[in-house]
Copies of this chain bind each other. A is one copy, B any other.
């Protein structure tokens, strides 16, 4: 259930970081369902380490608001919070749009070539219907665009802040025509960056990011138990 092996190739005892990555991924991918309880003891037993590293991993998840823990009672996978999604979207949009303005100004041919290759990979993943690969390529695409700005820590901050948003993103991939839309929007963004046009790049990126957000109501209708509150 917890895809630890994806983050732990060396087969030694997993570290807290690997435990964190595995749990986070399992939550974002929906393998651990909202509301489900995460027992430190059973996780420790199943993974084969003591409670200490498990606790540290859960502590990070708590800061990401991916889990909620009630003292002396239990730790539970958080439901998706619509307010948190809105906030995450705002943060993501602010950071990525600001970054891409710089990126568009400094992008060299080789940078564009690399992004181009990624984009073709997205096309292949779509043709193969491989949602997992597409999700990873999508992330790499935005990550690379962000890093081009030179502010490497922006992606790190953004990544942690948009955990709730990622859960929606992951869910949305199954919608019909959604991948086509994503790819053609990525194309527009990349072309603007290649043309070193910050204004156009920002506009297309902002539009693209909001496409994701527009899926929220549909996701909520399809997976009502994923969401919390009003």
Is the CB of A113 closer than 8 A to any CB of chain B? no
Choose one: B60, B90, B152; the contact of A154 (CB below 8 Å): B90
Q: Provide the A66-101 mask, 1 if CB < 8 A to any CB of B, else 0.
A: 000000000000000000101110110111011100
A59 CA to B59 CA in the complex, in Å? 9
Copies of this chain, tallied across the complex: 2
Is the CB of A153 closer than 8 A to any CB of chain B? yes
Q: Provide the A151-164 mask, 1 if CB < 8 A to any CB of B, else 0.
A: 11110010001000
Size class of the contact patch on chain A: 20 to 34
CB of A98 within 8 A of CB of B87, answer: no
CB of B98 within 8 A of CB of A94, answer: yes
Is the CB of A56 closer than 8 A to any CB of chain B? yes
Give the Cβ gap from A43 to chain B, nearest Cβ, in Å: 17
Choose one: B55, B90, B153; the contact of A98 (CB below 8 Å): B90
**Can you sample 8 A-B contacts with CB below 8 Å?**
A56-B56, A59-B59, A87-B152, A87-B153, A90-B154, A94-B94, A94-B99, A157-B157
Q: Which 8 A-B pairs have the closest CB atoms?
A: A94-B98, A87-B153, A87-B151, A94-B94, A90-B151, A157-B161, A94-B95, A91-B157
